[in-house]
Structure 1
């Protein structure tokens, strides 16, 4: 059995066999019993990440994943993904320097930020991280002055209809300006090697990848007429981290991508295809456990009957902790699950708050929960993406503990 060593402030515990909900729930209960004053904590299933990687390789063998470090940069996660042979999507020098400490070669890194800090471009030059994105002429000027030998990838606006949020207003070259920008790069004698795009977070438009890959084909052809021979296509991120009923699964998305690649970028052209998954790799690997620290009862003005009452619960994690993206960005209701035995327990309308004095620290309104007591615990699965990286110290917000589980052997590399 091989385990990944954690950071000094974290713990790792091997669990034999395949991890499942019951095994994770058992560990949560064990951790709760160890301390009466425990702060919120995560149980992290590293084997889930390994299985996700294998699933990716099986369903999209032509597309090499470059993990988006910004999604979850905890050391055991980064080390595990590095050991699997994946690449890394880094958005600044702090991220690519972290990745390099795990023995990842610069050929496995893309500096995928279209508008980079000049200081970070200098550090990229010093480290030899030469593959990077751009989407405007000002960025070309920076690169020309600071890292003229860089290999550049043009980021474009995607063709997408349904996604929770996109980057269209923030990043990406408009399609009618791509030709002009490529010509400008040629005039500046810069090396442009390909095209990238990012559909957005968890795309629900089944045709988005196909439509945008077709557009990339057109840009490849236009670039050839200008004098470039593009060799890289970066299809970005936005891949689901777990199955949601009624929504496209990762298998559905992979099928659409494979179809588009076969049509517009056939294998014989030898175009390297990469992607930037983040949520896909880590979302289902993290389960958050948190405690009820306060409680209020609200009753209807017209009746004091028990069935008319509702409850307000205050938890020891909130939007200034693990729930910033879930609640404020994704506008989603956390999937709270109660640890105590709920058999034949009535449920009530409840409002759930975080631990701070911030009036917007509300995690859920009017959700159904049984009556809980102060000190009771809840847990929330699928909390690995954009959670621990967003924790702040506002109002004394406690940073959750992290307990890592590993089972089976993590191979030194799996070819992708």
Structure 2
């Protein structure tokens, strides 16, 4: 509280501001590594692009989920290597695809044949993650099933199309089908820092073990946490100008 009062009193013009608790950021990363030790966190930049938060999670080993050229530029500006960036927009502008290719961001998501054609032409070295439509997500805080993802009967045709195009295709989502297990699984986001997180971790870890037992190649698992790292680390400090 003394720090807050000191900052407020030294402002020439009173303005609201946020305080970032770096200790909480560190605690959250510890919690993630404890509950999901084999799942790599790719922090969702659009959740909060506060420079201090981005620098903090980067220093703690997080990777990044970027949805645009501007977000990629921001993360690269922190000194983060491009192989720690997942380009998650499934419908990208050609200029952004060209930029990703030029800086070495070589992993992205897709959910359509048109996106395969664009990536083949402008970024043929890029590997693909197929985004699966989440069934029955109407109770989610941020339902994405109406915006992104493919239906079950579209999975094999699109993976085949990616293969024929010479691109490496994997699965992004939780879905099993009659193909050999892929090397990369992205379980998405939706995590919160609450009492359920450790239980969710146990369920996810058990599923990963089952998949690894059936896999014919090493399995790499990633996730896209956003609010897990951003929701509880900031405190808004503001001034009261009236009491009526």
TM-score by length of 2: 0.91
1:179 aligns with 2:160: no
Structure 1 or 2: more strand by fraction: 1
- Residue matched to 2:232: 284
Question: 1: CA distance between counterparts of 2:8 and 2:164?
Answer: 63
Structure-2 separation of matches of 1:109 and 1:170: 22
* Residue in 2 that maps onto 1:80: 56
User: Contact between 2:83 and 2:104, CA under 8 Å: does it hold in 1?
Assistant: no
Q: Please tell me whether residue 238 in structure 1 is matched to residue 164 in structure 2.
A: no
- Which stretches in structure 1 are left out of the alignment for 5+ residues? 1-24, 198-212, 295-372, 375-416
Q: Does 1:57 align with 2:9?
A: no
CA RMSD for the aligned pairs?
2.0
What is the aligned partner in structure 2 of residue 141 from structure 1? 117
Instruction: Look up the match of 2:140.
Output: 163
Long gaps (5+) in structure 2: none
Q: Please list the CA deviations of residues 261-306 of structure 1 after superposition, one character each: whole Å capped at 9, or x if unmatched.
A: 1223349742000111111112111011223345xxxxxxxxxxxx
Query: Whole-Å Cα distance in 2 between the matches of residues 37 and 70 of structure 1?
Result: 30
- 2:41/2:223 contact within 8 Å kept: yes
Question: Relative to structure 1, is the Cα distance of residues 256 and 159 closer, same or farther in structure 2, using a 3 angstrom cutoff?
Answer: farther
Q: Give the deviation of 1:35 after TM superposition.
A: 4.0
Q: Which residue number corresponds to residue 165 of structure 2?
A: 188
Please give the per-residue CA displacement for 1:220-278, whole angstroms capped at 9, x wherever unaligned.
Answer: x42x4xxxx721011111111x43xxxx6221221221122122334974200011111
Over 3 Å counting, the alpha-carbon distance change for 1:123 and 1:36 in structure 2 is closer
How far apart are residue 69 of structure 1 and its match?
A: 1.0
Q: Which runs of 4+ in 1 moved over 4 A?
A: none
Distance in 2 (CA, whole Å) between partners of 1:82 and 1:36 is 33
Aligned in 2, Cα 1:41/1:118: closer, same or farther, shift over 3 Å? same
Structure-2 separation of matches of 1:32 and 1:93: 36
Structure 1 position 160, deviation (Å): 4.3
Residue in structure 2 matched with residue 261 of structure 1 by the alignment: 208
1:286 and 1:69 map into 2 onto residues whose CA distance is 15
Using the alignment, how far apart are the partners of 1:40 and 1:33 within structure 2?
A: 12
How many Å separate the matches in 2 of 1:46 and 1:267? 40
Q: Distance in 2 between matches of 1:72 and 1:187?
A: 38
Superimposed CA distance per residue, residues 140-180 of structure 1 (whole angstroms, 9 cap, x where no aligned partner) = 11111111121111010124443122111111111221111
Write out per-residue CA displacement over residues 332-363 of structure 1, whole angstroms, 9 at most, x where no aligned residue.
xxxxxxxxxxxxxxxxxxxxxxxxxxxxxxxx
Distance 1:262 1:115 in 2: 32
Matched, 1:34 2:10: yes
Residue 36 of structure 1 deviates from its aligned partner by: 7.5
Corresponding pairs, count = 242
Structure 2 residue matching 1:291: 3-state secondary structure: coil
Mapping of 1:395-414 within 5 angstroms?
none
Q: C-alpha deviations, 1:286-329, integer Å up to 9, x for none?
A: 011223345xxxxxxxxxxxxxxxxxxxxxxxxxxxxxxxxxxx
Q: Larger C-alpha radius of gyration, 1 or 2?
A: 1
